[in-house]
Structure 1
Amino acid sequence: MLDLSKYRIVDLSMRCSPRRQREGWNRRLELKRSRIPYDNTIMHEINTVSHIGTHVEGPSHYLARLKDISQLPIEIFIGEAALLRLTGMKPNQEVKSTDLAKDGRIRRGDIALLRVEDPFAQEERPYLSVDGAKWLVKKGVKLIGIDRTLHLEKPGAKAPNNLPVHDVLLRNGIPIIEFLENLDKLRRERFILIALPLRIVGLDASPVRAIAIQRIRNF
């Protein structure tokens, strides 16, 4: 039997409310309450988008012919994770492979979570470079995640060449979790991450409830 008292669980998910808009999910979220006729219990109709709150983007988000979220192995969304704390960043700086490789924590098959330790205004946040994305592919990570301390792409780039990092990661079958929260509350840099998407056929992306599970050192 799993004794959860030996573990610390950290919720890494954004709390979404239909009545409150905030950066990262100022997208449609409407709830309509109704009752099920035969037993009079409550049910909700949800009107929203696939990129609401903390969400994971699958390959078909970038190219429709690639796999949708429901076609990806469930094992991708659970496993050992490494938190890469990026320090010494400057405003609008590229996050390169050398920045990601500094602490040597990434192992093949890991989930990689990225966080910039020094806070910046939204328009000054560092961003992941194509070089950094290729390094993550080469290291064999199966899933990456970011919070709102950095951008995945260089801000201000124009279509159709404005998503080079998405191109590198999603073409290689590496889904992307965006708008994680509470990465600053993680006490250790390695842990178990669970971030399960909805199993709805055809979805390019899905909201997730992301949690980190860390073993308490005394046990």
Structure 2
Amino acid sequence: MQNLDEILNSFDYFDFTMPLSHDVVSWPTHPAIRVNKFRSVDRDLYDAHEIYMTSQDYTHFDTPSHMIKGGKSIDKYEARRFILKTVILNLSYKKDMEIREEDLRQFEEVIRKSEAVVLYTNFRKEPKEFKYDWTYLGVSGAKYLSQFNLKLVAIDSPSIAGWSGDVPAHPHIITVKEAIDVHLHLLEKDILIVEGLYNVSEAVRDEKYVEGILIALPLNIIGLDGGPCRVIFLKPKK
């Protein structure tokens, strides 16, 4: 077996996980995250915290059960399913918000070689401010990606689809049906979705695409429709 240090030192490591704290904003119609310290080393001789958050905020998975009745939940997948040969597609140049089939065709050769695709849009996440205008995967783009033998599609925006809600601060950008269709084109093919990646720009820089290994490990909670995850990208050193 090759020396482990040699293997590990052949990669640059990037953490695509959003840092969390009690004051990070959630999806506008979801409950806010709560992190509360209820034990203290000074008083109790140990620290402990209670954490309250939804399964559909921050850096998180969507599984088929998120939108398909009777679909697979996160605990139904083996660990190998979360370690994938991946390509990051640089779509940060786009002037409009929708990623369409024609935007993705240029990457067809490298998509065919990959198990997972990350859509890099250069979305600027502000931990204490929710931004409604992000670049998203459109229906034609989702349908196109669903034709490949992919296991996962990820994006650096809050949702793989556009903003479909209606709150006083901002009307919807796409319809609820469009948002659901984007998800279903992938989930019906058992292509998992990861939303809310963070700091993807550090791995991409100005390259058209970047190949590497994505390690996206969710909590193994029985019956959950997805849930929070830690996402690490291993980029081979040149």
Q: Structure 2 length normalisation: TM-score? A: 0.77
Matches within 5 A, 1:31-50: 31-34=36-39, 40-50=45-55
- 1:128 equivalenced with 2:137 (yes/no): yes
Contact 1:153 1:165 in 2 (8 A): no
Contact 1:193 1:212 in 2 (8 A): yes
Equivalenced residues, count: 213
Residue 102 (structure 2) aligns with:
98
Which amino acid is 1:98 matched to? E
Q: SS of 1:134's equivalent?
A: helix
Which amino acid is 2:182 matched to? V
CA 1:41–1:216: 2 relative to 1, 3 Å: same
Structure 2 unaligned runs (5+)?
A: 125-129, 165-171
Residue 84 (structure 1) aligns with:
89
CA-to-partner distance for each residue in 1:136-187, whole Å, 9 max, x for gaps?
1111111010002985246424445641111111122111111101111114
The percent of aligned pairs where both chains have the same amino acid is: 30
Alpha-carbon separation, structure 1, partners of 2:33 and 2:189: 30
CA 1:214–1:49: 2 relative to 1, 3 Å: same
Contact 1:59 1:173 in 2 (8 A): yes
Q: Structure 1 length normalisation: TM-score? A: 0.83
Alpha-carbon separation, structure 2, partners of 1:202 and 1:22: 22
Contact 1:29 1:47 in 2 (8 A): yes
Q: SS of 1:105's equivalent?
A: helix
CA 1:123–1:14: 2 relative to 1, 3 Å: closer
Alpha-carbon separation, structure 2, partners of 1:26 and 1:124: 21
Structure 1 unaligned runs (5+)?
A: none
Q: SS of 2:111's equivalent?
A: coil
Matches within 5 A, 1:1-219: 1-3=3-5, 4-21=8-25, 27-34=32-39, 40-86=45-91, 88-92=93-97, 94-103=98-107, 104-107=109-112, 110-116=115-121, 122-148=131-157, 151-153=160-162, 155=164, 156=172, 157-159=174-176, 162-187=179-204, 189-217=210-238
Q: Does 202-211 or 96-105 show the bigger shift?
A: 96-105
CA-to-partner distance for each residue in 1:48-96, whole Å, 9 max, x for gaps?
211232111111111231111111232221111001112542233x311
